[in-house]
């Protein structure tokens, strides 16, 4: 089988990945996800070896379509932390002309967070909005619940319209609540993991799955 840009670069690597996916399919058994949603959940399980994401992961009805179309259009990805950007495959992103952004370590973001007594994650999302990166882009949150809470506020109060919000922050303070707030929205597509479980690894896995789905759409 010929490799595509969204797969492992060596035959041995592809064989291992495909065998892993087959094992997950067998062990997961019946599930309630659509054929478009399951590759995302399966890759999240693959990244964590945690089958609880078969059930914990929920999708807005338009989530997969919107995410794939944003990638095919070369729209930006805005992440809450550098860890997500470090985990993403640069060749896969470049294949679609997708740029990535995160602002949590920027000096102006830190300074404003101190002035407002807020978190850097909040100010980073506000900076992305000021720069016009949220509308039509993909927001990926894997670490900071306050980033997701702010993204939801920007949608609700300032009319921000991301193509897709991947809400998967992990933690004990506001993580579950931030994802529930996102999942209550009908005006922006989303993918969430219910409860405390989440993490940047999951956000990366979801994005890589969307990149693979975009490549399949392009070749169809």
| Residue among 100, 56, 78, 40 at smallest CA distance from 163 | 78
- CA dist 140 and 173 (Å) reads 19
Decide if 136 contacts 110 (C-beta within 8 A): no
In angstroms and rounded to an integer, the radius of gyration of the C-alpha atoms of the chain is: 17
Do residues 14 and 1 touch, judged by C-beta distance below 8 A? yes
Return d(Cα 59, Cα 175) in angstroms, integer: 17
Active site residue 46: yes
What are the helix (H) ranges across the chain? Answer: 11-28, 38-48, 53-56, 63-72, 82-87, 90-96, 107-116, 120-130, 145-158, 175-183, 200-219
Residue in 46, 60, 95, 101 annotated catalytic: 46
Dihedral sign (CA 88, 93, 195, 160): positive
Q: Which residues are catalytic?
A: 46
């Amino acid at each position: 089988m010929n490799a595509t840009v969204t797969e492992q670069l060596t035959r041995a690597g592809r064989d291992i990945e495909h065998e892993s996916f087959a094992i997950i399919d067998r062990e997961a058994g019946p599930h309630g996800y659509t054929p478009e949603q399951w590759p995302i959940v399966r890759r999240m399980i693959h990244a964590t070896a945690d089958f609880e994401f078969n059930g914990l992961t929920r999708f807005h009805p338009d989530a997969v379509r919107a995410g794939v179309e944003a990638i095919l259009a070369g729209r930006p990805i805005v992440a809450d932390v550098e860890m997500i950007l470090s985990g993403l495959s640069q060749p896969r992103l470049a294949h679609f002309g997708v740029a990535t952004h995160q602002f949590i370590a920027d000096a102006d973001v830190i300074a404003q967070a101190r002035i407002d007594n807020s978190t850097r994650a909040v100010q980073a999302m506000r900076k992305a909005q000021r720069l016009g990166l949220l509308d039509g882009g993909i927001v990926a949150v894997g670490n900071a619940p306050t980033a997701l809470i702010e993204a939801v506020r920007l949608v609700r109060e300032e009319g921000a319209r991301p193509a897709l919000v991947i809400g998967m922050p992990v933690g004990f303070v506001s993580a579950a609540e931030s994802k529930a707030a996102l999942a209550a929205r009908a005006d922006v597509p989303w993918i969430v993991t219910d409860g405390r479980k989440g993490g940047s690894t999951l956000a990366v896995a979801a994005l890589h799955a969307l990149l693979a789905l975009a490549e399949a759409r392009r070749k169809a």
